[in-house]
A and B are shown apart, each in its own frame.
Chain A
Amino acid sequence: MEHATTLDHTEDVYEPSLTPDSLGKLGMWIFLVGDTMSFGALLAAYAALRAGAGIVGWVPPSEILGINLTAFMTFLLICSSVTMVKALESIQNGNVSRMCTFLGLTILGGVIFLGLQAYEWYHLITHGLTLTGIPDHGLSGAAISGSTLFGPTFYAITGFHGMHVTGGVIYLIVILIHGLRGRYTAEFNHEVEIVGLYWHFVDLIWIMVFTFIYLL
Chain B
Amino acid sequence: MAENGHKEHPKYMNIFWWLLALTIIEVAVAIPDYAVVLKAILLIGLACSKAALVAIYFMHLKFERKTLTIIVLTPFIICVFLVIMLMPDLTLDARLDGIEKPAAEVVDTSSH
Q: A interface vs B, CB < 8 Å?
A: 19, 21-22, 25-26, 29-30, 32-34, 36-37, 40-41, 43-45, 47-49, 51-55, 57, 62, 67, 71, 74-75, 78-79, 81-82, 84-86, 89, 92-93, 186-187, 190, 193, 196-197, 200-201, 203-204, 207-208, 210-212, 215-216
A53 touching B7 by the CB < 8 A rule?
no
A43 touching B79 by the CB < 8 A rule?
yes
C-beta contact mask, B20-41 vs A, less than 8 Å → 1, else 0?
1001001100110000100110
Given known A48-B87, A193-B2, A201-B59, contact A215–B27 (CB-CB < 8 A)? yes
Given known A52-B94, A187-B5, A207-B54, contact A71–B27 (CB-CB < 8 A)? yes
Given known A44-B86, A211-B26, contact A85–B79 (CB-CB < 8 A)? no
B13 touching A36 by the CB < 8 A rule?
no
A52 touching B93 by the CB < 8 A rule?
yes
Chain A residues with Cβ below 8 Å from B16 are 78-79, 82
Count chain B CB atoms within 10 A of each CB in A22, A71, A203, A211 and give the residue with the most: A211
Interface size (B, Cβ < 8 Å)? 49
A196 touching B58 by the CB < 8 A rule?
yes
Q: Which of B40-89 contact A (CB under 8 A)?
A: 40, 43-44, 46-47, 50-51, 54-55, 58-60, 68, 71-72, 74-76, 78-79, 82-83, 86-87, 89
A40 touching B43 by the CB < 8 A rule?
no
B20 touching A187 by the CB < 8 A rule?
no
B23 touching A204 by the CB < 8 A rule?
no
Given known A37-B78, A75-B23, A215-B30, contact A204–B54 (CB-CB < 8 A)? yes
Given known A43-B79, A208-B47, contact A25–B89 (CB-CB < 8 A)? no
Chain B residues with Cβ below 8 Å from A44 are 79, 82-83, 86
Closest 3 CB pairs of A and B: A52-B90, A40-B79, A211-B47
Across the interface, B44 reaches (CB within 8 A) one of A57, A62, A201, A211, namely A211
B87 touching A51 by the CB < 8 A rule?
yes
Q: How far is the CB of A170 from chain B (nearest CB, A)?
A: 20
Q: How far is the CB of A214 from chain B (nearest CB, A)?
A: 8
Chain A residues with Cβ below 8 Å from B23 are 71, 74-75, 78
Q: Does B1 contact A (CB under 8 A)?
A: yes
Q: How far is the CB of B34 from chain A (nearest CB, A)?
A: 13
The CA-CA distance from A197 to B23 in the complex, in Å, is 21
